Amino acid sequence: MKSRMYFKPLMLIHHALAATLFIATMGSQAQSIVVASTTSTEQSGLFSYLLPEFKKSSGIEVKVVALGTGQAIDMGRRGDADVLFVHDKVAEEKVVAEGFAVKRLEVMYNDFVLIGPAADPFKTKGSDIVEALKKLSLSNGGFISRGDKSGTHAAELRFWKLADLDDKQGTGYKSCGCGMGPALNMASSMGAYVLADRGTWLNFKNRGDLKVLVEGDKRLFNQYGVMLVNPAKHPHVKVAEGQQFVDWLISPIGQGIIAGYKIGGEQLFFPNAAK
């Protein structure tokens, strides 16, 4: 009899604990979002600097999936993310027009740079990205392409097209199908050229003999945008939390934090939501 008398209170305690754990789990799930973003925002170190500040002010945890912009946008199309934070304006406007994202908002910008060996054997140094690529193609110079449908890859393809070389980049052209960090590592180990976003380059530790060779061309401008995934397409999207993240990014507080991210005293991203 005693064992039965003790059994019931123990069962009640067990159920109470299970219910508490369930509620706590549901609460933590409600206070997190998935952001599909680019390897450049992650590998530049921006998210490590930015997201703790957002969590501190909102209590919302941001889980970042860092991919090429094209793959990140595809996550939004499938409903596998709540927010998209990427850098290919044409692709961003297209996903909004298709109805998979609510509205595109500009957040910040930096620029692309052509990185290559310090000796610059193919004389690319200057401020004209198109002329630099022509020289590489004609000389069959080593060039590492992201080849991953990222925003950087899309920009690179635009520049080859402007040079009338989109289908004849030279025998030294290698497509890695990889993120910005691995592409830079390949260029460093092979003594090759690579197009990179300045943010990832500034945070890149394995530079070897590489240096910035082409910069300052207006065509190298690199704009980032943010979009909430459309709940009309995917009802499970965490609209309130996702919108809170979007609003914070473009707010004076979020913009100020972005502006404050520096490496070696050099600013990596320039907020322009309120332009």
The reply to whether 27-109+223-271 and 111-220 are identical in fold is yes
Q: How far is CA 135 from the centre of its chain?
A: 30
The per-residue pLDDT for 167 is 77
- Ordered DSSP codes for 96-156: HHTTSBS--EEEEEEEEEEEEETT-TT---BS-HHHHHHHHHHTT--EEE--SS-HHHHHH
The helix (run of H) or strand (run of E) holding residue 210 is: strand 210-214
Each residue's pLDDT tens digit, 196-246: 999 999 999 999 999 999 999 999 999 999 999 999 999 999 999 999 999
Q: What is the largest CA-CA distance in the chain?
A: 93
Domain ranges across the chain: 1-26, 27-109+223-271, 111-220
Q: How many CB atoms lie within 10 A of CB 97?
A: 10
CATH class held by domain 111-220: alpha beta
The per-residue pLDDT for 117 is 98
> Cα(1)–Cα(244) distance, rounded to whole angstroms?
56
Each residue's pLDDT tens digit, 85-105: 999 999 999 999 999 999 999
For residues 141-161, average pLDDT: 95
Report pTM: 0.85
Question: Is the CA virtual torsion 8, 11, 17, 18 positive or negative?
Answer: negative
For residues 111-133, average pLDDT: 98
Each residue's pLDDT tens digit, 160-187: 999 998 777 889 999 999 999 999 999 9
269: nearest Cα among 203, 218, 214? 203
199: nearest Cα among 101, 104, 111, 76? 111
Please determine, for residue 270, whether its predicted confidence score (pLDDT) is greater than 90: yes
Each residue's pLDDT tens digit, 3-42: 444 444 444 444 444 444 333 444 444 499 999 999 999 9
> Cα(165)–Cα(229) distance, rounded to whole angstroms?
36
> Cα(193)–Cα(229) distance, rounded to whole angstroms?
36
Share of the chain above pLDDT 70, in %: 89
> Cα(25)–Cα(51) distance, rounded to whole angstroms?
21
> Cα(117)–Cα(115) distance, rounded to whole angstroms?
7
Please determine, for residue 247, whether its predicted confidence score (pLDDT) is greater than 80: yes
| CB proximity list for 151: less than 8 A, separation 6 or greater | 38, 40, 68, 69, 86, 87, 88, 91, 222
Task: Specify whether the CB–CB gap between 47 and 41 falls below 8 A.
Answer: yes
CATH superfamily of 27-109+223-271: Periplasmic binding protein-like II (3.40.190.10)
Q: Which residue has the tokens 């549901």?
A: 26
